[in-house]
Every structure is written in structure tokens, then in C-alpha cells.
Amino acid sequence: MMINEIDGVDWESMGHAYGPASDVPGWLRGMASADPGTRNEAFSDFYNAAHHQGDVYPCTAASLPFLLKMADNPVSPDRGSVIGLLLSIGRESLDMDPEGVYFTPDGTESRAHVDALAVIGGRAEAFVRWVADPDQEVRLPAIEGLGLFLDDSARAVEVLRSLLPGDGLVERLLVVRAVATVALRDPAVHGAAASWLEALAGDTAQAPEVRLAALVHRVRCTPGELGEAVVPAAVGLVREIAPEETGGDDDAPCRAEAEPGVTAGSAPSSGVPPQIAAAFEDLERHGRVHAPTTSVLGALHTLLGDRVLERSALLAEQLCSADPGVRYDAIRMAKELIGQWRGDHSGLVVLIAGCLLPEDAYTSAAAAEALGALVPVSEPAREALAAYVEARRAEHGPGVWAARERLVRRAHQEAVRALAGLGDLRALPCVLEALDEGTDAWRAVQVAGHLGGAAGDLTPRLSKLLAEVDFSDASQSMSANALVSALRELGDPAAVPALTTAVVAAVREEQWHTAASALKALASFGREAAFALDVVRPLADAQDVTVRAAATAALWELEGDAAGVVPRLVELLDTHENDEAAAVLGRIGQAAAPALPRLRKMMAAGYEWTRVYAATALWDIGGDAEAPAVVETLLTAWAENDATSNHVLACLNRMGPAARPALPRVREELTHLRRSGRFRSIPHDEKLQSACRSITARP
């Protein structure tokens, strides 16, 4: 690649995600650098800007001739990464509408995806050479590229089939998938490719992983032929998969490279809240794959869709596999299945708990994290979690929460958090140690609110930590809000002084969101927080609407003067805090009757959430006289936006017999297999189902 050729492109006239594309030539040169650090930075910058989140810009397409030359040059460093970039650009371009017109960040029309495919398609013969390259890092992305871009489909299948005897398992699995890809894009080779896949699936001379891939991709070619025999066959093949050929025994722990991040007791980068740093670590961790068959099994789960019983049977075999990598990756798949689909998942929960292995902290951490995310349906794992926590304390001592070995620490912390999420006081000693010692205390704060039975021990500690927050430092707002939330959940009035002080400090530093959260926490204590009225009352006139709404709500809860707060709440119905205002008016009940005309007007709003807030308050204030309009409004909003369902069902449940017109829709909801509710989360969906059952159980 000649520097003059790169400089001959008018990069200035093009743009990428962050501005003019004048920096693209430097990135292309950097990819060819002999220095690994320079290359890594160049690839990262290109992906982040010129291929941002998969976008294909004119500068992306203009880079392709240079990337192709780089990939074709045997002395180029990191050719596999270059071909991987080519593959990503081509794959994203294929997924875009070929007739569609897209726009660059500056609003210019672009058909760069069409140009990109033309360039890659015109040089697709290069993939035939690359799949025979001695460097496996070059061959692997080239196999998928060959399946996607070579116009001569019959030749593509022929070349791919010739690669199957290769030594690498990952390579053979990619070959099987690529043959199916060719079959799907060209009907002319579909029949022959499908027959080859079917024969391969039945060839007992092949490794079980290859036969499994052939079975799944044969079904992928003709999903309408997904019969009853596929899952049992897949289960049998999973059962045949042995641990990696490196010679580990069946009980060997699943090992991965040492995890990045800080060691016990060290601080994250300056100014970065620990919660944010941990989120990035989680993102990196969740992108790892530990078994070659994971993508194959993932494809089978996608094909099975709502056949939850069959998917559960397959996952049960995965979670019991002799291969630790298969077991590990099955934890995430099982968590996703349970999180997306309703049903009795106790069997899978118990199997996930079975991955809490004392000798394998890496897998144990993943299992505990999954169980924490599955609360409350993780109840069947309670005793296994408690046993794991106690065993780790016995082995490593009471300081295991802050153990220097990163994997041991993370596994223990996740198990404690999952146990605390179930409200189990056996998690308390570890939570108290974390709060007292300070290492990763924020992780303990996040679950402390679930341990209401230990409020006497927790409230003083959490109050002390809240008092130590520097409200002038915006980066501490996440910690402050977590502490406020925990104190509110614990429900101990002893927290009122600390919360009152937090309100004052947050207002002083104009941390409005935190101030509003603390005000709502004070309101939850009702008359027991009345001594905070001198702080709360002036804030009912605050300029910030969020604080004003929270303070007004607190005034009602702390002193119960309907005449004083109803006019204020009616005014707030015309702000973005209308949900808070409507909820408080509903709690006030009949004494909030002056708000009825405004609430009835809100029932005609275009935004469905506004109508839901108004309808629920209207029922709570007006009762049976408002029932017909309320039910109709709630059902209409529910049909428009499923996210409103928790609010809708909670109101219908309160309405009792007046909700009878909604019974057909409520019964229908209970027949749905996919989880629903706000954010489609497990807790919200479980509450939704409970409300539905309560409504339908009434005579």
C-alpha cells in the first residue's frame, strides 16, 4: 500500500461518527505499524469512529481498497485483524437494506453500504486464498467471509467442504456454519448443502461438536423442519462432548485469562465511580466465550424460540456437561431463558446453583451473579448459596469479602449479594464486614436494603456512610442515591436524621436528583419523620420541579394536610412530575376531589403514561363513579404500551369487582409465555402475574 494512494483520497470531504474523516489515513497507516500498541490503537480508533456501532460511512467504504491490500500482503502484521475488520464491514453492509438510503452524522445521504459490498464482492476471490493461509488467525475470519461474499456459491461450498478435515475444531465449526450460510443465500446450492449437512450430522466418525454443528445448521437451513427429534439428538451430542484436548479431568475448573481490573483494596481511576468501573469489567466479561460450541447451541436456542420445555432440557444437559467451558457458557444462556420466558424454572435454578464449585471460583462467580439477577425466582438456590458463603468464610476466614485473590473475592461477593437479594440474614455478617472495612462497600450497599430483619445493625452503618458523602463531588451521586435507597428499603425511622442532613447537603450543592431521592425516603417514614418538616416545607417552593414534587409529596406524608398540598399537586400535574403528583393525589383519596376535573382532562392526553397516571388517581379519588372510564383508559394504554402493564394491573387489582370488564384481557395475559411488565424484568413480571391471578381469582 503506497502512502501516496492513501493521500490521494479526499478524506476531508467525508465524515465519521465524530467529525471529518481526515484522521482515517493515520489509522490505516497505524494498522500496518510494526508496533503492536500502535496497531491496537489504530484498530480501536477506526472501529469507534469510522465503523461506529457497525455503521458504514463513505470513509469506511473508501478504506476498503487499502484494507484489502493490507490483508493480501503476506508481510503485513496482524492480517487476521484486518480481515476481521473487512468481514465486519461487509457483514453490516449485507444487513442493511440494499435499496435504502442512509444518512451520515452531518445529514448527508449515503449509500456507502452498497459501495462497500461492491468493493468486497469484487475482491471476494481473495477469501479463497486466505482460507488456505498457514496462519490460523487469517483463516478463521476468511472462512466466514468466503461463505458471505463469493458470488460462485457452488465453488464456495466446494472450497469450504475441502477445509473440513482441518485439525482445528473451531475452524471446522466455522466451515459447517459457512456452508449453511451459502445455502441460505443461494437456493441453487441449498439442496446439496443441506444434504451434506445432514450426512455430516450422522457421521459417527466426526467429533460430536462437528456433528452438533451440522445438526443445528441443517435445521437453520430449513427451520420449518424443526421436528421433535432435534433436541434429543442435540442432548445426546452435548453428552458426548469431552473436556478440552489439553488433558484436564472432568472436574477441572473453567480457566480464563486473569481478569483485568484493580486488586483488592485498590481504588478505581480518579473520578470514576466504582460502579461504572465494574460495569465496564462486566461488559468485557460477558463478551467472553469459553466453548467452541457456544455459538452453535445459541443458534439452536434461537431456532427453538418459545419451545421453553425443550430448551430447558437442552440447557439442563449443557449445565451438567463434562466440559467446563460448556457448563460456564450455559449459565448465561439459562439466565437469559429464565429472564425472558415464564414457567417453572426451578430445575434450571438448581442446576445453576450446582455450578457453585469450591474448586472453581471463576465459574462460581458466574453462577452466583446469575442467581442474583434471577431474584425472586432464584429461591430454590437459597440453601446452596448459603452453603457456598459459609464454606468460603470457613476456608478463607471472615475477611474473604476482601480476599486478595480476585476470583475468590468476586465469587464470594456475588454469592453474598444473591443470598441477600433473597432477604436471607445469613448474608448479614459479610455485608457488615464490607460496610465496616470499606473494600467494595458499594456492592454491599446495593443489597443491604433487602435485609430488613437486620435494620438495627445496618441503619447506623449506612447512615454513617451517607454522612461521609461529599455532595460537592458529582461523581459520588451514585453512591449517595444507593445509600438513600437502602435506608428507605430498610424502613428504620432511625435513618431520618441522616436523610434530613442529606437533603440539606444535596440542595446546597444543587444535586437535585439526590435531594429528591432523600425527600422520597423521608416521606416513606410518614409521621415518624415529622421533625424534618422545617427542612421539607421550604422545598415545596423549590425552583427545581423534581425537588418541588418530592417535597410536596413528603409534606402530605409527614403532616397529612390535604388542604395545603392538593392545590400544589394540581399545579404539578402540568409538569414532567405529573406521575408523582397523581400518585400522591391518589393516596390522599376523597380529600383530593378538587383535582378530579384536571385528572379527567389528562385522560385525553396523547401520551399513554399520562393517561395511566390520571386514570389510577381518578379511581383512587373518585371510586366507582369513575370506574368505566378508568378501565377503558387503562386497557387502551396497556394495548399501546406493554410497559404500562404493572401500573395498569396494580390499579385494576385495587378496583376489585369494578375491574370485571378487564377480565378477558387479564386472563389472556396469563396465557402469554414471554415475560412482560416494566422493562420485562423478572421482579416486575412476577408481580404482574401475581396481580393477574389475584384479579381472576375473585368470584
**Helix/strand/coil (H, E, C) string of 234-280?**
HHHHHHHCCCCCCCCCCCCCCCCCCCCCCCCCCCCCCCCCHHHHHHH
Q: What local confidence, expressed as pLDDT, does residue 242 receive?
A: 87
Q: Find where cell 452453535 sits.
A: 296
C-alpha–C-alpha distance, residues 647 and 678, integer Å? 9
CA angle at 444 for the pair 440 and 446, rounded to the nearest 5°: 115
- Per the CB < 8 A criterion, the answer to whether 641 and 664 are in contact is no
pLDDT in tens, 519-565: 999 999 999 999 999 999 999 999 999 999 999 999 999 999 999 99
Nearest to 401 by CA among 512, 393, 618: 393
Q: What is the pLDDT of residue 246?
A: 37
What is the Cα–Cα distance from 670 to 675, expressed in whole angstroms?
10
pLDDT at 101: 78
Q: Rounded to a whole number, what is the largest CA-CA distance in the chain?
A: 84
Axis-axis angle for helices 274-286, 477-490 (nearest 10): 90
Which residues sit opposite 235 in a β-bridge? none
> In 576-661, where do the E strands start and end?
none
Q: Is 306 helix (H, G, I), strand (E, B) or coil?
A: coil
The rounded distance, in Å, linking the Cα atoms of 446 and 428 is 13
Number of helices (H), then strands (E), belonging to the chain: the values are 37, 4
Cβ partners under 8 Å of residue 333, min gap 6: 297, 298, 301, 315, 318
For the question of whether the overall pTM of this predicted structure is more than 0.85, the answer is: yes
* pLDDT confidence of residue 254: 52
Backbone angles phi, psi at 547, to 5 degrees: -65, -40
Alpha carbon 627 to its chain centroid, in Å, reads: 38
CB atoms within 10 A of CB 475: 13
Residue 171, CA distances (Å) to 138, 185, 220, 250 in order: 11, 21, 19, 24
- Give the integer Cα–Cα distance in Å for 348 and 279: 26
DSSP annotation string for 409-465: HHHHHHHHHHHHHTT-GGGHHHHHHHHHH-TTHHHHHHHHTT-GGGHHHHHHHHHHH
Cβ atoms 369, 354 nearer than 8 A: no
Instruction: Write out residues in the chain with pLDDT < 50, as ranges.
Output: 1-3, 246-253, 255-268
- How many Å apart are CA 466 and CA 501, to the nearest integer? 9
- Please state, in angstroms and rounded to a whole number, the distance separating the CA atoms of residues 443 and 262: 15
Q: How is the chain split among helix, strand and coil, in percent rounded to 5?
A: 75, 0, 25
Q: Which residue has the cell 481504588?
A: 267
Residue 340 C-alpha cell reads as 425472558
User: What are the CA-CA distances from residue 393 to residues 369, 400, 432, 457 (Å)?
Assistant: 18, 6, 14, 20
Give ∠ CA 134-291-263 in degrees, rounded to 5. Answer: 100
